[in-house]
């Protein structure tokens, strides 16, 4: 256990992988790399409490980053290439210095980057929310008192940003290209409920329309956004535009490495991507026996579990032990206004959705999702206790009808 472990990526998955390696027996050097000079922070508050100005950067530092684990953490250092045969990483520091790192085992947790609208780089007032610096920049614009904020994309991040902006008393337009927000994740009926939450809080929700182009003006030598032209022919004035249209996984540096890349790093069901190499967090694509699907999961709890599981996979390989299959039930939450949305499992738009508790009109309910007779998801709005209890039924492989009956009796 005195070999060198390298962890590429110092956010939630990577930090927890490094922590697990150290606490569970790796006595050798553990080097952690990340191009972000802050890196080891929690992302969920960036679109909520942190964006609202209720938290400082120190308050969202990962707890694991504060422990004395004897890690060699090198922030401001980017991995640029991987040689699987030589077990060697090429890296570049912010000052341009190049360096080779040899490893015995490797965790890749480079995550994803926010997608941006074309030709918007450097345009003042246009933001994404993925890093602390992103959130701080947007927060500064919101504190300047814009007349209107346009949020492009009504997924969970877009919804949280819209809610935070309304909480600041700002006028908000929420634009979504799909006819229903979150339809792919929650189905049409539940997506419509989420849209109504925003409408009830005074958000101007525009569905089924995309962005044609931004309107900008030049002042003091800078280009600044002043509005958004939508594909339905309408125009919305905007001092601030927030783009929440998903992410792109950070695998470009791995092209030609020999790893299998397909919207992430393709792993087996133990998170092994190649001998001595595992992936964790947003970037890991693995096959779930439970759901009979291969997918990536971009959830907070999943990043913790994946980082820990990836580290244990390497330790098992070093010890000659049988690896453990990685197949947890995904779980996610989103706080918007006074609503807490929780989703457990992996539902799809075509699944059967049945409200088994509460009322969608009051925005307090539980919905169960079924596929081929099995329970595959539980959605709750302001029903945290129910979701936590019913989550276990997915782990048990309960039938949809039995699960609904049990939920209705709660």
CA distance 75 to 198: 39
Average pLDDT estimate for 244-250 = 97
Q: Is the pLDDT of residue 410 over 90?
A: no
Quick one: what percent of the chain has pLDDT higher than 90? 96
Architecture of domain 116-245: 3-Layer(bba) Sandwich (3.50)
* Count of positions (residues) in the chain: 410
Q: Is the pLDDT of residue 89 over 70?
A: yes
| pLDDT in the model for residue 3 | 92
CA distance 261 to 278: 13
| pLDDT in the model for residue 1 | 53
CA distance 252 to 123: 25
Residue 382 has what DSSP assignment? S
CA distance 351 to 331: 18
| Residue 47 burial (C-beta neighbours within 10 Å; 0-12, 13-18, 19+) | buried
Q: How far is CA 409 from CA 266, 356, 376, in A?
A: 41, 9, 19
| 3 state SS of 389 | helix
| pLDDT in the model for residue 314 | 97
| pLDDT in the model for residue 129 | 98
Q: Among 355, 350, 362, which residue's Cα sits nearest to residue 386?
A: 355
Average pLDDT estimate for 339-350 = 96
Average pLDDT estimate for 29-36 = 97
Residues 6 or more apart from 161 whose CB is under 8 A from it? 47, 51, 129, 138, 151, 242, 244
| 3 state SS of 277 | strand
Token pair of 163 as six digits? 């809610």
Average pLDDT estimate for 69-73 = 96
Average pLDDT estimate for 205-216 = 97
Q: How far is CA 227 from CA 52, 62, 230, 240, in A?
A: 23, 37, 10, 8
| Residue 4 burial (C-beta neighbours within 10 Å; 0-12, 13-18, 19+) | middle
Residue 283 has what DSSP assignment? G
Residues 6 or more apart from 221 whose CB is under 8 A from it? none
Residue 71 has what DSSP assignment? -
| pLDDT in the model for residue 355 | 97
- Residue holding tokens 């595959």? 376
Backbone φ and ψ of 262, nearest 5°: -155, 90
Q: Which option is the CATH number for 338-408: 2.60.120.10, 3.40.50.720, 3.30.390.30, 3.20.20.20? A: 3.30.390.30
Q: Among 177, 165, 128, which residue's Cα sits nearest to residue 51?
A: 165
Q: What is the pLDDT of residues 117-168, one digit of tens each?
A: 999 999 999 999 999 999 999 999 999 999 999 999 999 999 999 999 999 9
- Residue holding tokens 């006074």? 338
Token pair of 173 as six digits? 């337009």
| pLDDT in the model for residue 239 | 96
Q: Is the pLDDT of residue 65 over 90?
A: no
| Residue 372 burial (C-beta neighbours within 10 Å; 0-12, 13-18, 19+) | exposed
CB 333 within 8 A of CB 316: no
Give the DSSP H/E element, type plus range, for residue 107: strand 105-108
| pLDDT in the model for residue 130 | 96
| pLDDT in the model for residue 409 | 87
The neighbour count for residue 198, using CB atoms within 10 Å, is 23
Q: Do the domains spanning 5-113+248-319 and 338-408 agree at the CATH topology level?
A: no
Residues 6 or more apart from 120 whose CB is under 8 A from it? 126, 214, 243
Strand partners, 403: none
The mean predicted confidence, pLDDT, of the chain is 96
Q: Among 168, 186, 207, which residue's Cα sits nearest to residue 48?
A: 168
CA distance 141 to 149: 10
| pLDDT in the model for residue 377 | 97
Strand partners, 399: 374
CB 298 within 8 A of CB 282: yes
Q: Is the pLDDT of residue 238 over 60?
A: yes
For the domain made up of 5-113+248-319, give the CATH fold: FAD/NAD(P)-binding domain (3.50.50)
CA distance 399 to 247: 34
pLDDT band, very low/low/confident/very high, at 108 (cuts 50, 70, 90):
very high
The residue extents of the domains of the chain are 5-113+248-319, 116-245, 338-408
CA distance 410 to 306: 32
| pLDDT in the model for residue 38 | 87
């Amino acid at each position: 256990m005195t070999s060198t472990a390298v962890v590429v990526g110092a956010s939630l998955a990577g930090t927890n992988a490094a922590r697990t390696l150290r606490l569970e027996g790796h006595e050798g050097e553990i080097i952690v790399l990340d191009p972000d000079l802050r890196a080891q922070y929690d992302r969920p508050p960036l679109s909520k409490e942190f964006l609202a100005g209720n938290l400082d950067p120190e308050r969202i530092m990962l707890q694991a980053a504060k422990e004395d684990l004897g890690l060699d953490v090198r922030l401001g250092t980017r991995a640029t290439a991987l040689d699987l045969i030589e077990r060697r990483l090429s890296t570049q520091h912010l000052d341009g210095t190049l360096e080779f790192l040899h490893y015995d085992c490797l965790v890749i947790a480079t995550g994803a980057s926010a997608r941006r609208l074309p030709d918007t780089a450097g345009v003042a007032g246009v933001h994404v929310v993925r890093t602390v610096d992103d959130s701080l920049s947007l927060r500064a614009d919101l504190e300047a008192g814009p007349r209107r904020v346009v949020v492009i994309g009504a997924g969970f991040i877009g919804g949280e940003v819209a809610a935070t902006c309304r909480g600041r008393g700002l006028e908000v337009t929420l634009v979504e290209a799909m006819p229903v927000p979150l339809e792919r994740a929650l189905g049409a009926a539940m997506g419509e409920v989420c849209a109504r939450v925003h409408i009830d809080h005074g958000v101007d929700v525009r569905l089924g329309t995309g962005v044609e182009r931004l309107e900008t003006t030049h002042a003091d030598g800078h280009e600044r956004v002043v509005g958004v032209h939508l594909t339905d022919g309408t125009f919305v004035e905007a001092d601030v535009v927030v783009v929440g249209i998903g992410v792109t996984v950070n695998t470009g540096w791995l092209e030609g490495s020999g790893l299998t890349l397909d919207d992430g790093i393709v792993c087996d069901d133990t998170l092994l991507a190649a001998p001595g190499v595992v992936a964790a967090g947003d970037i890991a694509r693995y096959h779930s026996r439970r759901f009979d699907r291969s997918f990536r999961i971009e959830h907070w709890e999943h990043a913790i579990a994946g980082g820990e599981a990836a580290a244990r996979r390497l330790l098992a390989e070093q010890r000659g032990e049988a690896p453990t299959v990685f197949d947890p039930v995904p779980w996610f939450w989103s706080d918007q206004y006074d609503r807490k949305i929780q989703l457990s499992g992996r539902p799809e738009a075509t699944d059967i959705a049945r409200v088994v508790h509460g009322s969608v009109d009051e925005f307090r309910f539980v919905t169960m999702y079924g596929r081929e007779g099995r329970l595959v998801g539980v959605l709750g709005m302001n029903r945290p206790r129910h979701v936590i209890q019913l989550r276990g039924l997915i782990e048990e492989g309960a039938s949809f009808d039995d699960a609904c009956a049990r939920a209705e009796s709660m």
